[in-house]
């Protein structure tokens, strides 16, 4: 299992932030804000796997792309980028030596926080 940075997801996340589609919550809010498995399933059913992939900054190219196992490091709730998800993901990426993903999440957090001013 090799998790890589999902570049289309990075572009999607940055675009959402620039459009103002952000919830500026705190790190601990992610446990409540993260989509549930049922919400993920409903989103996949409605929007498809490519759209689902765009909400995850990590992708395992060895996994079946039509399984949730292929995607990691979610950053939003399928409507908006959640600051809490970005912070949580950055921390997890750092803990597991996913340096490129950690850097992308840090950059996204900087974009979110800069847009505040």
pLDDT band at residue 115 using 50, 70 and 90 as cut-offs: low
pLDDT by residue (tens digit) across 2-60? Answer: 899 999 999 999 999 999 999 999 888 999 999 999 999 999 999 999 999 999 999 99
Cβ(23)–Cβ(80) below 8 Å? yes
Mean pLDDT of the 68-97 span: 96
Q: Which residues contact 26 (CB under 8 A, 6 or more apart)?
A: 83, 84, 87
Q: With CA atoms as reference, report the closest residue to 70 among 93, 43, 92, 52.
A: 52
- Specify the pTM: 0.93
The confidence score (pLDDT) of residue 95 equals 95
Report residue 45 as tokens: 């059913």
The confidence score (pLDDT) of residue 27 equals 83
Q: What backbone phi and psi angles, to 5 degrees, belong to 37?
A: -55, -40
């Amino acid at each position: 299992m090799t998790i890589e940075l999902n570049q289309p997801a990075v572009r999607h996340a940055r675009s959402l932030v620039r459009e103002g589609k952000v919830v500026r919550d705190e790190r601990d809010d992610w446990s409540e804000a993260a989509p549930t498995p049922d919400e993920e399933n409903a989103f996949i059913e409605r929007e498809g796997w490519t759209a689902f992939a765009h909400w995850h900054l990590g992708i395992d190219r060895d996994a079946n792309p039509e399984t949730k196992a292929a995607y990691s490091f979610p950053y939003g709730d399928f409507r908006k980028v959640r600051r809490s998800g970005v912070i949580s993901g950055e921390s997890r990426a750092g803990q597991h030596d996913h340096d490129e993903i950690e850097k992308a999440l840090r950059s996204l957090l900087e974009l979110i926080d800069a847009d505040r001013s």
